[in-house]
Amino acid sequence: MSASARIDLHTHSTASDGTLGPADLVRAAGDAGLDVVALTDHDTTAGWADAVAALPRGLTLIRGAELSCRWFGVEPAIPLHLLAYLFDPDEPELVAELARVRRAREERGERIVRLLQADGIRVSWSEILAGAAGGTVGRPHIAQALIRAGLVATTTEAFGPDWLGERYRLPKDDIDVFRAVALVRAAGGVPVFAHPKASRRGRIVPDDLIAQLAAVGLAGLEADHEEHSPAEREHVRRLAAELGLLVTGSSDFHGTHKTVRLGAFTTGPEAYERIVGLARGVTPVASG
Ligand code: AMP
Ligand code: FE
Ligand code: FE
Ligand code: ZN
């Protein structure tokens, strides 16, 4: 990878809560001038094949996922996201765990809908499932139903305290984060902690936990992310240096469910090469 390569290692397609299909996503990544893009849908690898098939010339695809995890070291447990790159998508334990989390997401979604309905809000679970179109269901799909019903104007408003951010927020049955790191490593993948300081979404974990995860196989930290302030980005970089972890920056692109653009934040070529060098599951894919 050249020193000027543009590398975005965190994006979502319709295989989870993004709005571009995986094929359109890689085409958009090519059009945005990226050299490398990672597809990291929530708790699924379902978009990988379409992304590979549509990969434009000059773009390298990193196959990945973003795992819904939880740290059970405090009560109540704190949710967090683990990016996993280049793991074997057929590793049975990981496959089973991802399927379990996707089911847990559906159960939680249905419970949120029942809470809304109990307050007289007319949204239906079947409509939300249809909106997800077979992809991993998430709160953004419920947010879309609230927008369609005219109850809120934007996804941001739907994630506010009166709606999915607090009043109608329910936990889902996530993967224990230590188990997730172990499973990703066992599948030959490279785990990177996504937006570790994104406190706008809720409670964040202490640096001490990040140190514990680093000791058992966590490879990196996402520093440059739209939900991190400049001071938080610097803090994450310092922590990573102390712990010997690599540092990434990425857009966390979700299509029109968010405003951030592909390539808005990027990862340096050295960190990228470290990820590729550590991976033992699948390889980066480059088209002709
Ligand atoms: P879930 O995975 O179902 O808990 O929903 C979390 C997802 O909602 C995240 O991955 C983001 O894509 C999205 N999200 C979280 N907070 C916001 C927000 N404030 N505005 C828009 N999207 C958000
Ligand atoms: Fe998301
Ligand atoms: Fe995330
Ligand atoms: Zn994400």
Condensed to tens digits (0 to 9), the pLDDT of residues 150-192 reads 999 999 999 999 999 999 999 999 999 999 999 999 999 999 9
- Looking at beta carbons, which pairs linking 152-155 to residues 24 or more positions away fall under 8 Å? 155/257, 155/258
Q: What is the pLDDT of residue 252?
A: 98
Query: Rounded distance, CA 66 to CA 56, Å?
Result: 23
Given a cut of 80, whether residue 90 has pLDDT beyond it is: yes
CA distances from 284 to 52, 246, 259, 272, 273 (A): 10, 18, 28, 11, 11
The string of pLDDT tens digits covering residues 102-161 is 999 999 999 999 999 999 999 999 999 999 999 999 999 999 999 999 999 999 999 999
- Residues 110 and 137: their CA atoms lie apart, in Å, by 10
- Residue 41 and residue 78: Cα distance in Å, rounded? 21
- Exposure of 246 in the CB half-sphere (CA atoms within 13 A): 22
Give the C-alpha separation, 149 to 170, whole Å. 21
Please, which pLDDT band fits residue 201 given cuts at 50, 70 and 90? confident
Give the environment of ion ligand 2: residues with CB less than 5 A: 17
Instruction: Give, as residue ranges, everything with CB less than 5 Å from ion ligand 3.
Output: 81, 194
> Across-strand partners of 37?
8, 61
Does position 288 have pLDDT exceeding 80, yes or no?
no
Q: In whole angstroms, give the CA distance from residue 62 to residue 60.
A: 7
Measured from the alpha carbon of residue 38, the closest ligand is: 4
**pLDDT value of position 194:** 98
pLDDT at 92: 98
Ligand 1: which atom is nearest the Cα of residue 139? 3
In the structure, which protein residues have their CB atom closer than 6 angstroms to any atom of ligand 1? 17, 42, 138-140, 155-156, 159, 201, 254, 258
Rounded Cα distance, 280 and 261, in Å: 30
Distance 141 CA to ligand 4 centre (A): 14
Q: 162 with 171: CB under 8 angstroms?
A: no
Q: Using CA positions, which residue lies closest to atom 5 of ligand 1?
A: 139
pLDDT digits (tens, 9 = 90+) for 224-278: 999 999 999 999 999 999 999 999 999 999 999 999 999 999 999 999 999 999 9
